[in-house]
Chain A
């Protein structure tokens, strides 16, 4: 299952902080037309470089799916930045 949401948290030195919730499922829906164009291109590219296009689709899907529960957090005395993919 591909990730459906992501949360971004930022905290600045003045104490201000933001928490942004990003609905990734909307992003995926918006990217769907792009994917429809990319799929045949990937198929042709796969033929050119002799890589199975279906294996390629599967691997790209698997990579997207495995992004779930990824966390990146950077913090210093002034700023905190955290991205969490759920």
Chain B
């Protein structure tokens, strides 16, 4: 059994996630393994360097645009900083997140799985489009 699968099962056993979430995580893990195998087969993708957030909003007839470009390296540093949160503070943060319906184990963010988190963001594209505003998040 792989280390990741074991971690998911441990989180399920500890009640940190429910069965549905565990199933989704397992599926994501399998997809990740499959895509990694695909890449190993010769198809390599250029690494994304930036994440863009673009907002185009209409506010009372006046349009406003926001364009933010964040280097991926800054995200990596952010994840590293999250790994330095002291245990006491981490418990508070996890408690608050759990209360808001977002159970997450911050201690699971370790340098060894940091690259995996950032790599997953490389295929990210989020489009939110409604009558008054458009939001687009993508990597480049």
Q: Which residues of A contact B (CB under 8 A)?
A: 49-51, 55-56, 59, 62-63, 65-78
Report yes or no: A70 in contact with B84, Cβ–Cβ below 8 A. Answer: no
Is B15 an interface residue when CB atoms closer than 8 A count as contact? no
Q: Which residues of chain B are within 8 angstroms of A62 by Cβ–Cβ distance?
A: 73, 76-77, 80
Q: Could you tell me the distance between the alpha carbons of A85 and B74 in the complex, rounded to whole angstroms?
A: 13
Given A51-B86, A69-B50, A77-B71 contact (CB < 8 Å): no
Task: Pick 10 A–B contacts, CB within 8 A, sort by A.
Answer: A49-B88, A49-B89, A50-B86, A66-B77, A69-B49, A70-B70, A73-B65, A74-B67, A76-B63, A77-B62
The number of residues on chain B lying at the interface, defined by a beta carbon within 8 Å of a beta carbon of chain A, is 25
- Choose from B70, B71, B74, B87 the contact partner of A50 (Cβ within 8 Å): B87
The tally of CB-CB contacts under 8 A between chains A and B is 67
Given A62-B77, A66-B74, A55-B84 contact (CB < 8 Å): yes
- Choose from B49, B66, B77, B81 the contact partner of A73 (Cβ within 8 Å): B66
Is B78 an interface residue when CB atoms closer than 8 A count as contact? yes
Chain B nearest CB, measured from A71 CB (Å) = 4
Is B14 an interface residue when CB atoms closer than 8 A count as contact? no
